[in-house]
Amino acid sequence: MTHERAIRSETATNAPEEDADRGQSAFDHTPVMCDEIVDEARLAPAGVWLDLTLGGAGHAKAVLDARDDLRLVALDRDPVALRVAGERLRPHADRVSLHRLRFDRLDEALDAAGVDVIAGFLFDLGVSSPQLDHAERGFSFRNDGPLDMRMGPDAVRTAADVVNDSNHGELARILSRYGDERFAGRIASAIIAARPIETTAVLADIVVNAIPAAARRTGGHPAKRTFQAIRIEVNDELTILEPALDAATDRLDVGGRGLVLTYHSGEDRIAKAVIRDRTADTVPVGLAVAASQEFTAHRPLGRRPSDAELERNPRARSARLRGLTRVAGRVAA
């Protein structure tokens, strides 16, 4: 059995029962800035395209459709996404290798696929629409479900564990750091007073009531920032991003394109900082600069979706696309 088939059968065994009935029609995710990403992929050398957040394979399939000289190595921590993506990528099955892994384990996936350097990579961060829309996944403040929020079975704690077991200081820090929530202290106090909390609807109500009435009417749903913060904590989203982005960048071939789509300030700050670091001129003053520069950043930094795309897909509104290209240098083995 090939490694690829071994991974596929593992996902089939571990996926929840109801997903078999749901089928791929229920997995509806519109890939963000897909034309821009395919345009970047067209500029990459031939070789391996690494998709670290495969989801429903919208981007991955578009890249493979556009380039028949690229193979795909792809990761996702969500077995349901991998199953659907496997079906959608069936026309390209002979050049696809799928791995149910967290993206900070990208070296394992590449090594298993026998890949050293890559032609390009994409991180499309955060959750997919089906993860948000299926109430039983517990991500939604609009649809009632169990407080879960795990993107995949590798996550150690559920949202219920975070909400019910953290002390006031820990909760306030999570809400403030990962949600930019200015009422973090008040919300943490309200959560602690109402525990145990088991469902998303109950948590959403607690947050709404903890926020001053005037603030409830501004900036979207009042529970949005709290849910985002708890989701980031449950899935350890930010701590693994910097090392994973660095590791993927190390693997880029000369001419290779590295791309990151971010959706909120926490992940965007990290992507921006890594790209700045990797593209900074580190040569002492007075020495030749051009010969030593390994990467260039894409300009303009932080491209946004077009108005036409936002009209078609409002969920893309907070997206920023950042990227870098290896222009020279030795690739780490």
Ligand X SMILES: C[S@@+](CC[C@H](N)C(=O)[O-])C[C@H]1O[C@@H](n2cnc3c(N)ncnc32)[C@H](O)[C@@H]1O
- Residues found near ligand X in the complex (CB under 6 A): 29, 31, 53, 55-59, 75-78, 81, 102-103, 124, 126-128, 151, 240
Cβ-based nearer residue to ligand X, 106 or 188: 106
Report the nearest approach of ligand X to the CB of residue 317 (Å): 14
Distances in Å between the Cα of 181 and the Cα atoms of 139, 164, 235, 271, 305 are 18, 19, 19, 21, 26
Cβ-based nearer residue to ligand X, 81 or 207: 81
Residue 145 · residue 283 · CB < 8 Å: no
Residue nearest to ligand X (CB): 55
Cβ-based nearer residue to ligand X, 34 or 188: 34
Cβ-based nearer residue to ligand X, 100 or 278: 100
Cβ-based nearer residue to ligand X, 81 or 211: 81
Residue 109 · residue 81 · CB < 8 Å: no
Report the nearest approach of ligand X to the CB of residue 87 (Å): 13
Taking the C-alpha atoms of residue 252 and residue 255, their distance in angstroms, rounded to an integer, is: 8
Report the nearest approach of ligand X to the CB of residue 95 (Å): 18
Report the nearest approach of ligand X to the CB of residue 153 (Å): 11
| Strands 295-297, 320-326: pairing kind | antiparallel
Residue 319 · residue 36 · CB < 8 Å: no
Contacts of 123 (CB under 8 A, 6+ apart): 52, 53, 103, 241, 244, 245, 248, 259, 260, 261, 271
Report the nearest approach of ligand X to the CB of residue 60 (Å): 7
